[in-house]
Every structure is written in C-alpha cells, then in structure tokens.
Amino acid sequence: MSRRLIVEADGGSRGNPGPAGYGALVRDAETGRLLAERAESVGRATNNVAEYGGLVAGLQAALDLDPTAAVEVRMDSKLVVEQMSGRWKIKHPDMQKLAVQARDLARQLGSVRYTWVPRAQNGAADALANSAMDGKPVRRDVAAEPVVVEDDVQPTAAPAPVVATVTHLLRHGRTEHTPERRYSGSSDLPLSQLGRADAEAAARHLASRGIDVIVSSPLQRTRQTAEAAAAVLGVPVEVDADLRELDFGAWEGLTADEARQKSPLAFRRWSGATDVRPPGGESVADVSARVARARDRVLQRHAGKTVLVVSHVTPIKLLLAAGLGVGDEIVHRIFLEAASLSTVTWSSDGRASVRLVNDTSHLGA
C-alpha cells in the first residue's frame, strides 16, 4: 500500500495584483505529522497566481518526499481545485503555465486528488503565505531533521486551551444613500438623522452583551456608529482601515439600475462574480483579502474577548462567509439592513459558528 500524504497550499496578494506569496506544507495522512514547509514570494501577482504557486511548491515537496505517494491536495481556493480537477477551464496565461507545472508533478506521483476546504481549515498554509508576503521565506524539511533521544522521552505538552472570541458585527446606521440603496463604498458619508437614531438604538441594545472593545472601519458613517456605542458601553474604539467598504469606483453614488445603464457589460460581469472589479473600483476578492487580515488582527489582539465590529455590508458578509466556511460568492445571497446585527464566534482551534444574521429587532417599527 502506497504512502499517503496531504498537501495544504495557499497563496495571497496584497493588492490583487500586488506583492504576493505562497505557502505550502506536507503532512503524513496517517499521523498528521508535519513533514515539509514552503513559503516564497512570487513578486507582484494576483491571488490566484499565488495560490497556483503554492500548489506547485506543495506537489514538489511531496514528490521530493516520496514519488510513489498517494497525495490529497487541500486548498481553500475553489477556483484552483475545480480547474485542477478538470471541471473548469483555465484562461489566465500565468495560471495556465503553473497548471502545466502542477500536472507534470502530479504525473510523477502515485496519485493526486484535490479537495476544497474552508479557509478556517487552511490556516497553516495561509500563515506561511503571509510569512512570504512579509519577506520571510520558509523552506523546512522536518522529515529530514535529526531526531534526538530527548525528543522521544520528553512528555508531550498539554494541548493549549481552546479560546472563544465573540464578534458582534454591526452595520452602520442609515445615510442619505440608504433609502435609494445607492452604492456608498468609499464615499465618506455621515449618518443621517435617522442613522444617528439607528446607532443609538443599537448601542442601547448592546449594553448587556459584555463588549470589551469596539473595532471600526475608518469611514465617517461607521465611526459615528461606533462612537455612539462607545458612549453607552464605555469601551475604547480601535480603527482598522481594512474594514472599509468595497470601493465601487465609477459607480459610487449610483443605484444598481444606474450602474447597469452606465456600464452594461461591466455590470453584467461584476454581478454574481467575486473577482471582477467595477470600473476604477475593487472586486469582492480584493475586499476579502483585507477583511481576512482584519479578522486575524482582531482574533490575535482580542482573543477570548467580546468584540463589536462596526463595518459595512460587504465586509460583514465576508466575515459571515468565513464563519460559515463557505466561498465569498455567498455575498450575493445575503441581505443586511442598516444598523443590523450579526454574530460569529471564533474558536482558537479553527472552528467558527454563526449565531445571528441581520437582526434588526432593536430598531423597532
């Protein structure tokens, strides 16, 4: 029976395209033992190209360990998994080249299959990718490292206790754009009079939630909502720029119908997609990358606490997607009212649970 290996791979880009890097590791499928780690910068590239880089590095590491092995590749990129499984076409030239490399490596192994996993289950590869983007490459072959006698006789350390961090996700109150559902995005609008009432109602509702800290988007409408909550809760407000709303570019201030009329082809491509940008704006994938960074900071800095995150429609939907362990495309299937409240609990063992979505009971009639 051939040896079974697991490859976990990921990649990321700070800007998409922007400074990019990949991370990959190989584990023994039977014991879970870490055998190899790889992390490397790929210069300026997209998220998808970086993810393919991680795949190639992981397959090469597995091949170096055992060319006869049966390999399962686990990635949180549905795109790469579907393309390498032969179900989706590969159109990007850079991705095509990397896919050819990956297939060549796969042919040299005993067998290779691809499995999509939620992002929360791919944390080790993601951490390696971030290390690469931080200028800290990794090349470690644990299987080749000598084992000293002490390694076998020392008692196993007790597992770290599981810590749960609760995040209450509050969308800002209403603005002048809200009644007509205009794209606000990067527009720095203040709350309307009704929006200030929304913020105050939300603050009163949250008074009994045991909130330790507030983390807010830097835009005026979220800062005002956060400050209303802070006045009632008596806790500090931190600002995280990665929690700002998707930049709608040329569609800022327009309704969906107006954007469709202004850019028919671009709007059709953008609707329902995660990797298409409005003219001069950001894609959902762009926002997802920075929201993931913000989430990691919150969970690192405030582990075990209850955090009020005051943000916008798209970032909150992406946090819910991460909590559910589903792809970013779910943003097109969730509706969030102004000043609505959602809740996700994150455990330090990588699990998460969504407890509440789009609650507006505190706003009354």
- Alpha-carbon distances of 228 from 181, 206, 223, 232, 259, rounded to whole Å: 23, 11, 9, 7, 33
Report how far Cα 282 is from the mean position of its chain's Cα atoms: 15
Give yes or no: 302 in active site: no
> What is the rounded CA–CA span in Å between residue 58 and residue 78?
17
| Dist CA 198 CA 202 (whole Å) | 6
For residues 270-309, b (16+ Cβ closer than 10 Å) or e, as one string? beeebbbbbeebbbbbbbbbbbbbbbeebbeebeebbbbb
Q: Is 172 a catalytic residue?
A: yes
How far apart are alpha carbons 204 and 208 in whole angstroms?
A: 8
Q: Alpha-carbon distance 208 to 219, whole Å?
A: 26
- Phi (first) and psi of residue 127, to 5 degrees: -65, -40
Contact 198, 173 (CB under 8 A): yes
Vertex 333, ends 331 and 337: CA angle to 5°?
Answer: 80
User: How far is 184 from 197, CA to CA, in rounded Å?
Assistant: 20
Helix (H, G, I), strand (E, B) or coil at 185: coil
Secondary structure (3-state) at 200? helix
Q: What is residue 326's three-state secondary structure?
A: coil
Residues 6+ apart with CB under 8 A from 223: 216, 217, 237, 239
Q: Which residue in the list 72, 245, 252, 282 is annotated as catalytic? A: 245
Of 168, 172, 205, 312, the catalytic one is 172
Q: How far apart are CA 281 and CA 252, in angstroms?
A: 9
Please identify which residue in the block is written with the tokens 């909550």.
229
Give the position of tokens 């039977």: 30
Question: What is residue 145's three-state secondary structure?
Answer: coil
Q: Which residues are catalytic?
A: 172, 245
